[in-house]
Chains A and B, each alone.
Chain A
Amino acid sequence: MKCQECHERPATLHFSQVIQGKKMEVHVCNVCAKEKGYMNYPEDGYSLHHLLSGLFNFDTSNIASAQGTTYQQVNELQCPKCELTFSEFKQIGKFGCAVCYETFNERLDPIFRRVHAGNTKHNGKIPKRQGGDLHKKKQVEALKDQLKSLVENEAFEEAAKVRDKIKALNQDQDKPEAGDQS
């Protein structure tokens, strides 16, 4: 069986995941399991803290030994602002500052995925003042999703209205720079 993530290497890890009552079969290779952060830890009897440090440890040691290679962290990532290193972060299970999120960004998806039922991206509130153009961007994204499902359901009249809304919103957004953009 091929790995369902890369479709190249053979799948060596097989398990089922239950997220919100839905069972999913997962077949992946070691490399993808590590990258995508699959694999569940037994949740009962563990505090969240255990769970966190457990999954951090999993990241570096378990996979490495499974592959039969000695994986060592050669260059230790360190946050330029608060000077927290990635291994310290693993130990305390807390970020030191907002910049840590950028510094450790590439290694965070597996962690978030496991803590937040497979999610890695924010989908909620945007700060009212700071949010600026983001509000409109989100609105356009939502309308585009709506448009897609309307087209799929062949509700073309409705779809046309939504399309016009998107257009209007996009034009609004371009207005300040209209001069150099048109």
Chain B
Amino acid sequence: MTLQQFMNEALSPWMRKEGPDSDIVLSSRIRLARNFANVAYPILADPDQLEEIRNFFKEKYENQSFEEYKQFAFISIRDLSSVEKRVLVEKHLISPLLAKYSESAATLISENEQVSLMINEEDHIRMQLYFPGFQLSKALNKAFEFDDWLEEKINYAFDETRGYLTSCPTNVGTGMRASVMMHLPALVFTKQINRMIPAINQLGLVVRGIYGEGSEAQGNIFQISNQITLGKSEEDIVEDLQSVVQQLIEHERHAREQLMDQMRTKLEDRICRSYGVLEYARIIESKEAAQCLSDVRLGIDLGLLGNVSRNILNELMILTQPGFLQQYAKKTLTANERDVLRASLIRQRLELEK
């Protein structure tokens, strides 16, 4: 697997498969933070030691496979251009933070892009596993197996009382962040989401936009994850998150049914107009594109629009991000140039569906 292959396709191979409840839950993710027992954390470590960690991963894991996660590609962040870094961030393969820690930062990515391991981010090791649809328990089991596989060769910073020791006090204990990406257009449309978010926060869960901390909910896509990592087992944390997600799914489905019952024509009009914008626009900003894509996806899920694949939302949301557009153009683009290219790529992509 080469870097080029990760760069070419907006949609990761695992995203092409459908999972349970994938009309609403786009993906499930488990992230585990781990550290070497005897090396200071990246913020304070000696650069030589971080370089040693980088080399350790390159030597031991490059081109290795773990079960269905094959042929780990080893990529040093310092070898990447800023556009390439941005593309990996837009695909959620690395975090914006890793892209900044460039000196000894690196990543290992499996061929199907389902597993990515960040090296020398805030912690020495951040592994993340993605599953399509709503499959948190499965993702957790796989993450545990993967974690055990790594632990065969690594002595983790672990303490009986405090658990896995991490750089930030907010990750200590399990070091786990479980999250789901949800498409909730009907809850946004009916404004129910506004009163649901505070309620979800009260349960120790966090709601964010598609690109994590501080990002806006573009295209009615929300990321919901656990906040607490200490005192509860990973299974319990996942269970709590699952029950909230399950309720959100039901509310969203119910809101969709109500919209269909009470204002079908209005809804259809909006969806078809959005489709029209995507099909004919010559200049489109990312925010408008995201909103139209969300409408179109809702139209597909409700059976109001035929002949368009469901993946179009996930794919075009990523493909039309600034990094991807510039990667595609092979040059730096101004905001206006990006809006023109975005419109053109969307038109081409919709053309493919016909």
User: Contact mask A123-139 → B, CB, 8 Å, 1/0?
Assistant: 11111111100100000
User: Contact mask B22-41 → A, CB, 8 Å, 1/0?
Assistant: 00000000000001011111
User: Contact mask A32-54 → B, CB, 8 Å, 1/0?
Assistant: 00000000000100001000100
B47 beta carbon closer than 8 Å to chain A: no
What's the minimum C-beta distance from B43 to chain A, rounded to whole angstroms?
6
Contact, CB under 8 Å: A119 / B228: yes
Contact, CB under 8 Å: A93 / B168: yes
If A118-B231, A122-B162 touch, whether A130 touches B156 (CB-CB below 8 Å) is: yes
A84 beta carbon closer than 8 Å to chain B: yes
Contact, CB under 8 Å: B44 / A125: no
Among the listed A111, A118, A125, which residue makes an inter-chain contact with B169, where contact means beta carbons less than 8 Å apart? A111
* Chain B residue contacts of A130, Cβ below 8 A: 151, 155-156, 158
B3 beta carbon closer than 8 Å to chain A: no
Among the listed B41, B173, B203, B229, which residue makes an inter-chain contact with A96, where contact means beta carbons less than 8 Å apart? B41
Contact, CB under 8 Å: A123 / B44: no
Scan residues 108-159 of chain A and give those whose CB is less than 8 A from a CB of chain B: 108, 111-112, 115-131, 134
Contact, CB under 8 Å: A98 / B165: yes
Q: How far is the CA of A119 from the CA of B229 in the complex (A)?
A: 9
- A119 nearest in chain B by CB position: B231
A21 beta carbon closer than 8 Å to chain B: yes
Contact, CB under 8 Å: B174 / A84: no
Contact-residue bracket for chain B: 35 or more
Among the listed A20, A81, A84, A94, which residue makes an inter-chain contact with B122, where contact means beta carbons less than 8 Å apart? A94
Contact, CB under 8 Å: A127 / B158: yes
Contact, CB under 8 Å: A116 / B229: yes
- The interface residues of chain B, by DSSP majority, are classed as loop
Q: How far is the CA of A112 from the CA of B147 in the complex (A)?
A: 24
- B233 nearest in chain A by CB position: A124
- A116 nearest in chain B by CB position: B230
Contact, CB under 8 Å: A115 / B159: no
* Chain B residue contacts of A93, Cβ below 8 A: 168-169
B264 beta carbon closer than 8 Å to chain A: no
* Chain B residue contacts of A168, Cβ below 8 A: none
* Chain B residue contacts of A83, Cβ below 8 A: 44
Contact, CB under 8 Å: A98 / B37: yes
A1 beta carbon closer than 8 Å to chain B: no
Contact, CB under 8 Å: B44 / A84: yes
Q: How far is the CA of A121 from the CA of B174 in the complex (A)?
A: 10
Residue of B35, B40, B228 contacting most chain A CB atoms (<10 Å): B40
What's the minimum C-beta distance from A173 to chain B, rounded to whole angstroms?
16
* Chain B residue contacts of A98, Cβ below 8 A: 35, 37-38, 157, 159, 165
Among the listed A21, A81, A124, A129, which residue makes an inter-chain contact with B163, where contact means beta carbons less than 8 Å apart? A124
* Chain B residue contacts of A124, Cβ below 8 A: 163, 173-174, 176, 232-234, 237
Among the listed A18, A94, A108, A116, which residue makes an inter-chain contact with B168, where contact means beta carbons less than 8 Å apart? A94
What's the minimum C-beta distance from B247 to chain A, rounded to whole angstroms?
14
Contact, CB under 8 Å: A128 / B173: no
A101 beta carbon closer than 8 Å to chain B: yes
Q: How far is the CA of A125 from the CA of B233 in the complex (A)?
A: 7
B160 beta carbon closer than 8 Å to chain A: yes
Contact, CB under 8 Å: A101 / B41: no
B172 beta carbon closer than 8 Å to chain A: yes
Contact, CB under 8 Å: B161 / A122: yes
Interchain residue pairs A-B with the least CB separation, the first 3? A119-B231, A122-B163, A98-B157
